[in-house]
A and B are shown apart, each in its own frame.
Chain A
């Protein structure tokens, strides 16, 4: 969707007519003016960076030291570790909760619904702080547990809508062949649903990756924490802006890569006959329930 938008979909909106020669000339003029304005803004920002001495050698020297590089890499490793744990556990929790929500037993269904709705409505940070402060858990398990509860609940909804979106005939045919309800789920519904929901699942993992940075707030030694340590060092002339300039591209790059993977998978799905039986549901369900995806 993003790439599509980048190449301009003025043709596909109801807003504009296809421009004639006059309009094209006018747009070209506007284009030049706005480009100049944008470049001026960027130039002003760069000037501001230079003006406040952000590019002095003293502020950038720390990144040459091996100890600092190690610190940053360890931080990045810890971020990825938290992300790996959180995504595996939340996928597992999501599967369990989705099974609960799709169960034929009413009490199980209610319990799972209550659980999912509650944890989707709570800010992740409140859960993480609760686990960290009230239950006195170490930072990493607290972060992973908080992320798992939240993302697991959101993923449960994703899985459930995915299974429900599989065409009715598939389920009926499977039952008609004499399969049991578990067999129907495992062999017929789940494989098709997962394939169709893959983009939505990956988008949710992007949220999990972004939220690992919340570990910074509970003193988990992740990437941002490493950056803060360097930034508050007087020896290096408090290189705050350089640290942000180094850290943000890495963070944003990682998330963009994962988002891009989701779009790529989604685009492939659209051409894949194996997902035909499922209406590919958009990544954000746009519900009005208190716990729509935290983006």
Chain B
């Protein structure tokens, strides 16, 4: 217990770091995932290929390798940014591949007849998309997006090992100060549980509010 109360500011900093990383990377992943998903269902061949390559390469890349390449590799091209930003970039791109697949399968769950009906009523493409297809797809993608974002929150631990301020990284200074290492880790675990459980609660609410009635 002492470990937490005596080093609360350190823990709080780590916790906020993880939270920040999760939020920013989620936003990036959602935006990029949306773009890639629209590429993957586009009627234009080359865009579909770009989307498919993006998804298949990133899904099969170990995240550690991606961090390694982004955090240590991009500076070689003269692109020097704070490590935090690099971490958001790596996490966001990695997760965007999963988000893309979720969104694409969400769009595919909308029956073809819905689009056909909308078009036969004279709706334009934007209207079909905005008023018919996306609202229905949105309902079915809430749970899988939630679990993808939870995975993202857990993956953010890797950033800590690349010296980004983050919850897991707090074990190092505490260990050097001679605190009980077991309790240090217990509180780190609690921190992660708080984050993952809140995301899961948030998406439970969303699912209750908008999810598909089953």
Chain B residues numbered 26-82 whose CB sits less than 8 Å from any CB in chain A = 40-50, 52, 56-57, 59-65, 68-69, 72-73, 76-78
CB-contact partner of A252 in B61, B128, B157, under 8 A: B61
Tell me, yes or no, whether A159 is within 8 Å of chain B by CB: no
Give chain A residues whose Cβ lies under 8 Å from the Cβ of B76. Answer: 52, 54, 240-241
Q: Are B44 and A31 in contact (CB under 8 A)?
A: yes
Give chain A residues whose Cβ lies under 8 Å from the Cβ of B13. Answer: none
Q: From residue B77, how far is it (CB to closest CB) to chain A in Å? A: 6
Q: From residue A66, how far is it (CB to closest CB) to chain B in Å? A: 25
Q: Are B48 and A213 in contact (CB under 8 A)?
A: no
Give chain A residues whose Cβ lies under 8 Å from the Cβ of B151. Answer: 292-295
Q: From residue A43, how far is it (CB to closest CB) to chain B in Å? A: 15
Q: From residue A247, how far is it (CB to closest CB) to chain B in Å? A: 7
Tell me, yes or no, whether B115 is within 8 Å of chain A by CB: yes
Q: Are B144 and A286 in contact (CB under 8 A)?
A: yes
CA of A255 to CA of B64, assembled, Å = 14
CB-contact partner of B110 in A14, A30, A52, A217, under 8 A: A14
Q: A10-B43, A52-B77, A125-B158 are in contact. Are A214 and B64 (CB under 8 A)?
A: yes
CA of A293 to CA of B95, assembled, Å = 13
CA of A252 to CA of B64, assembled, Å = 12
CA of A216 to CA of B69, assembled, Å = 13
CB-contact partner of B193 in A121, A129, A247, A292, under 8 A: A121
Chain A residues numbered 216-266 whose CB sits less than 8 Å from any CB in chain B = 216-217, 224, 227-228, 231, 240-241, 244, 247-248, 251-252, 255-256, 259
Tell me, yes or no, whether B84 is within 8 Å of chain A by CB: no
Q: A10-B43, A213-B62 are in contact. Are A134 and B114 (CB under 8 A)?
A: no
Segment at the interface with B among A15-23, A85-93, A161-169, A267-275: A15-23
Which chain A residue shows the least CB distance to B169? Answer: A129
Q: Are A290 and B197 in contact (CB under 8 A)?
A: yes
CA of A124 to CA of B160, assembled, Å = 13
Q: From residue A223, how far is it (CB to closest CB) to chain B in Å? A: 9
Instruction: Give the number of A-B contacts (CB < 8 Å).
Output: 197
Q: Are A133 and B181 in contact (CB under 8 A)?
A: yes
Give chain A residues whose Cβ lies under 8 Å from the Cβ of B204. Answer: 288
Chain A contact residues, majority secondary structure: helix
Tell me, yes or no, whether A64 is within 8 Å of chain B by CB: no
Give chain A residues whose Cβ lies under 8 Å from the Cβ of B98. Answer: 295
Q: Are B60 and A244 in contact (CB under 8 A)?
A: no
Tell me, yes or no, whether A276 is within 8 Å of chain B by CB: no
A35-75 interface code vs B (CB 8 A; 1 in, 0 out): 10010000000001000101000000000000000000000
Give chain A residues whose Cβ lies under 8 Å from the Cβ of B129. Answer: 15
Q: Are A286 and B143 in contact (CB under 8 A)?
A: yes
Tell me, yes or no, whether A104 is within 8 Å of chain B by CB: no
Q: Are A134 and B181 in contact (CB under 8 A)?
A: yes
Q: Are A126 and B50 in contact (CB under 8 A)?
A: no
Tell me, yes or no, whether A82 is within 8 Å of chain B by CB: no
Give chain B residues whose Cβ lies under 8 Å from the Cβ of A216. Answer: 64, 68
20 residue pairs from A and B, CB less than 8 Å apart: A2-B56, A6-B49, A9-B108, A14-B112, A15-B41, A15-B125, A15-B133, A16-B43, A17-B116, A54-B76, A129-B171, A133-B175, A211-B62, A216-B68, A228-B68, A247-B65, A289-B200, A291-B196, A292-B147, A293-B147
Binding site for A on B (CB under 8 A): 40-50, 52, 56-57, 59-65, 68-69, 72-73, 76-78, 98, 104, 107-108, 110-116, 118-119, 125, 128-129, 132-133, 143-144, 146-148, 150-151, 154-158, 160-161, 168, 171, 175, 181-182, 184-185, 188-189, 192-193, 196-197, 200, 203-204, 207
Binding site for B on A (CB under 8 A): 2, 5-6, 8-10, 12-17, 19, 23, 27, 30-31, 34-35, 38, 48, 52, 54, 121-126, 129-130, 133-134, 206, 209-214, 216-217, 224, 227-228, 231, 240-241, 244, 247-248, 251-252, 255-256, 259, 284, 286-295
Closest 4 CB pairs of A and B: A292-B147, A14-B115, A255-B60, A213-B62
